[in-house]
Amino acid sequence: MKPDSYIERTNRPLQFYAVLFLIVLYVPVLFLPLFSFNDSIYVKFPLKSFTFQWYLELLDRAPVWASLMNSIKVAVTTSIIATGFGIFAAKAITRYRLPGRGPVVGFIMLPLVVPGIILGVALLVLISQLGIRLSLYTVTVGHIIVCLPFAIATMIPRFEGFDKSVEEASADLGENAWWTFWRVTFPMVFPGVLASLLLTFTVSFDEFIMAFFLSGSDATLPIYIWGQLRFPQAFPSILALASIILVVSFILVFLGQWINRGAGAGSLESTKNT
């Protein structure tokens, strides 16, 4: 299909709409960094002078550093476990004849759809009934459950993207299943694994609802921010903190998507040329 054929010919109003859509999608978020450099404790126009003050103020806040470390601990653990389990799950789903595959996959993807609050209170109820104290560990368990579907969904296209016969060739050349996985399968799905690590790290790092119900006295960064939203005088430095988190998240997610562009997108890329 040529780009200028009758069906796919240029549609100006639609192009205009698309650009407008992207602007509306991004502009509200961009106000956070904008006001984080504004030398006023009020978040309003007109802008006052430019300042780094709110960022510097963050450095002096011990709870910010503490909750940052908590978030990193949780997010690193979550991303490694979710991605690790996700590799095996994605391989099982794509490579083996599984009776009842549809319902099983649907079940695994459930956390993507179930309202966060329901998942959160259900886990809270379980944990309290087991007599376990709320801590960063309980938050991590909640995050693994939220992140596993993302990890699997990110890696499935990677496994689908290469031919099973490559693995069979390796077996034919005398490697056992374990070494076939490490020498053939893993290198081929590696971009998906890396993308999954980055994406699940970001999701966990930014996650609020599970952390809200499942964290004890140690707050993660989003919980800390939630607590500070009540204090108007803290607003500007929260803007600065939010800006940093947003920028870092955007970079990590973009990196993840970019690394994995051959796959999840792969299906998109291949349809493009038909």
Partner 1 sequence: MTQENAFISIRNVNKFFGKFQAINDVSMDIDHGEFFSLLGSSGCGKTTLLRMLAGFESVSSGEIYIDGQPMSGVPPHHRPVNMVFQNYAIFPHLNVRDNIAYGLRRQKLSRAKRREMVDEMLELIKLPEYGDRKATQLSGGQRQRIALARALILKPKVLLLDEPLGALDKQLREQMQLELRALQRTVGITFVFVTHDQEEALTLSDRIAVMSDGRDLQVDTPTRLYESPVNREVASFIGTMNFFDGTVKSVGSDTAVINVDGLGEITAPACTVSLLAGDRINVAIRPEKFLLTDQKPEGVQNCVKGHLDNAAYLGERSHYYVSVEGISQPVAVSAQNQSRAGGTEDRKRPVWLSWDNAAIVVLKDA
Partner 2 sequence: MLQKSETLRGYSLLTPTLIIMAIGILVPFGILIAMSFWTQVGFGFDLTPTVANYEMAADRPIYGALIKRSLWMSGMATIATVLLCYPMAYFVAFHVHRNKMMWIVLMTLPFWTSYLLRVFAWKVVLGYDGVINSALLSVGLIDAPLEFLLYSQTAVIITLAHAWAAFAILPMYVSLEKIDRSLLEAATDLGDGPVMRFFRITLPLSLPGVISATLLIFIPTTGDYITPALLGGPDGIMIGNLIQKQFGAVNNWPMGAALAIILMLSIAAIALGFMFSTMFVRRRIT
The residues of the shown chain that bind partner 1, judged by CB under 8 A, are 2, 4-7
What track of x and - describes contact with partner 2 for positions 101 through 120 (by CB under 8 A)? ---x--xx-xxxxxxxxxx-
> Should residue 28 be labelled a site residue for partner 2 when binding is judged by CB under 8 A?
yes
Q: Which among partner 2, partner 1, none contacts residue 255 (Cβ within 5 to 8 A by kind)?
A: none
> Restricting to residues 63-102, which ones interact with partner 2 according to CB under 8 A?
85-86, 88-89, 91-93, 95-99
Give the contacts of 64 (CB within 8 A, at least 6 positions apart). 58, 221, 224, 241
User: How many other CB atoms sit within 10 Å of the CB of residue 216?
Assistant: 12
Distance CA 191, CA 86 (A): 14
At 76, phi and psi to the nearest 5?
A: -65, -50
CA-to-CA separations, 81 to 30, 73, 78, in angstroms, rounded: 33, 12, 5
> Should residue 58 be labelled a site residue for partner 2 when binding is judged by CB under 8 A?
no
Is-contact 240 54, C-beta < 8 A?
yes
Candidates 23, 29, 132, 169; binder of partner 2 (CB under 8 A) is 29
**Nearest to partner 2 of 69, 268 (CB atom):** 268
Is-contact 142 214, C-beta < 8 A?
yes
Candidates 31, 52, 182, 186; binder of partner 2 (CB under 8 A) is 31
User: Minimum distance between the CB of residue 246 and partner 2, rounded to whole angstroms?
Assistant: 6
**Nearest to partner 2 of 10, 165 (CB atom):** 10
Q: Which among partner 1, partner 2, none contacts residue 132 (Cβ within 5 to 8 A by kind)?
A: none
Candidates 64, 68, 139, 141; binder of partner 2 (CB under 8 A) is 141
User: Minimum distance between the CB of residue 7 and partner 1, rounded to whole angstroms?
Assistant: 7
Q: Which stretch binds partner 2 (CB under 8 A): 157-165, 168-176, 184-192, 266-274?
A: 266-274
Distance CA 39, CA 36 (A): 8
User: Minimum distance between the CB of residue 102 and partner 2, rounded to whole angstroms?
Assistant: 13
Distance CA 202, CA 78 (A): 10
Q: Give just the sign of the alpha carbon dihedral 209, 213, 214, 218.
A: positive
